[in-house]
Amino acid sequence: MRLASFVDPKLGREARFGIVRGESIVDVVPVANALHLAVPATTVKAALTSGAHTIAALEELATAAERAKLVRPIAGLKFLPPIPDPSKFFCVGKNNKKHREELAANKMLTEVPNEPTGFIKLTSTISGDGDEVVKPAGITTLDYEPELCYVVGKRAHGVKKAEAMAYISGFTLTNDVSAREIQQREVASGLRRQRQAAAARQHRRLSLQDRRRAGAFFALCRVRARRPHCHGGAERRRGRAAQCGRTLSAGR
């Protein structure tokens, strides 16, 4: 099942929740009302964090909508990030050998880590499909990378590898946009290493309760793929932005 958050410019700027079926979409709330059915969820986040019964109810609603011809074309709609308000946005870096070689060649990697590194992206840096990338003043080049984004739908800490997929509610794709010039300056000055060390100390001080706070959140992992045409995003702090794909695939 492919879930989406979108705006219909003809109806205003209010975010709507939909189920994508091919080139059509089911606008969940008005369709459920038209069919006199209970609304299973009003947002993608609510759908992914309220249990398998909600996903099953959405599937039934989408099937009923198709039978009743209550689907609408996606043409003319503006797609938002599937989850515009994730509670967290975790990123994994240096987990791909080819990318590490690229970083080293551009003097952005001074040592090979023993394990992938992690960092947090500000949730305010997320933009939707088709949004423009605004290049910050003083930056000449923007880099962009295709990323696979896992949506973690329930509390997790110390999860075993064999059980990991039980915590994943869905997947989407992102276009990760970076200002490498800022990163190169940080590496050259040693500032990046200082920040990583400070983040590690802060992580050790976090209580278990803080680490297990509920709410759907993103986890971004680099995948080996050809770079897409860079056509979206928005101006971002510290030279990092993420442009989410149109839909989020949920269910098994």
Residues 10 and 59 in one domain: yes
Residues 17 and 108 in one domain: no
pLDDT tens string 171-226: 998 888 888 787 777 776 655 554 555 544 444 444 444 433 444 555 554 443 33
In a domain, 127, yes or no: yes
In a domain, 84, yes or no: no
In a domain, 176, yes or no: yes
Distance CA 132, CA 234 (A): 6
Residues 209 and 98 in one domain: yes
Residues 104 and 145 in one domain: yes
Q: Which residue, of 52, 79, 106, is where some domain finishes?
A: 79
Distance CA 224, CA 227 (A): 9
Show Cβ contacts of residue 66 under 8 Å, excluding neighbours closer than 6 positions.
Answer: 21, 26
pLDDT tens string 30-61: 999 999 999 999 999 999 988 889 999 999 99
What is the chain's mean pLDDT, rounded? 78
Could you identify the residue written with the tokens 């909508």?
Answer: 65
- CA dist 23 to 2, 26, 62, 74, 77, Å? 12, 11, 14, 6, 11
pLDDT of 71 reads 97
In the chain, how many domains are there?
2
Lowest mean pLDDT among 141-155, 160-174, 203-217, 221-235: 221-235
Q: Which residue, of 79, 102, 118, is where some domain finishes?
A: 79
Residues 111 and 222 in one domain: yes
Distance CA 7, CA 2 (A): 16
In the chain, what percentage of residues exceed pLDDT 70? 75
The residue range of the domain holding 225 is 89-250
Residues 63 and 107 in one domain: no
Give the CATH number of the domain where residue 225 resides.
3.90.850
DSSP character for 80? P
Residues 45 and 154 in one domain: no
pLDDT of 190 reads 59
Contact 182, 239 (CB under 8 A): yes
Please check the confidence at residue 131 and state whether its pLDDT lies above 50: yes
Reported confidence tier of residue 95, pLDDT bands at 50, 70, 90: confident
Residues 94 and 193 in one domain: yes
User: In degrees rounded to 5, what are phi and psi of residue 146?
Assistant: -75, 135
Residues 42 and 112 in one domain: no
Please check the confidence at residue 25 and state whether its pLDDT lies above 80: yes
Q: Which residue, of 33, 58, 79, is where some domain finishes?
A: 79
Residues 99 and 73 in one domain: no
pLDDT of 249 reads 79
Distance CA 4, CA 211 (A): 28
Residues 141 and 165 in one domain: yes
Distance CA 129, CA 159 (A): 32
Reported confidence tier of residue 67, pLDDT bands at 50, 70, 90: very high
What are the start-end ranges of the H helices in the chain? 28-34, 44-49, 52-67, 97-105, 180-189, 191-205, 208-211
Task: Please report, to the nearest 10 degrees, the dihedral formed by the alpha carbons of residues 105, 91, 248, 4 taken in order.
Answer: -110
pLDDT of 225 reads 37
Please check the confidence at residue 69 and state whether its pLDDT lies above 50: yes
Picking from 141, 119, 143, 128, the residue whose alpha carbon sits closest to that of residue 85 is 128
pLDDT of 26 reads 98
Tokens of 170: 């869905």
Please check the confidence at residue 11 and state whether its pLDDT lies above 80: yes
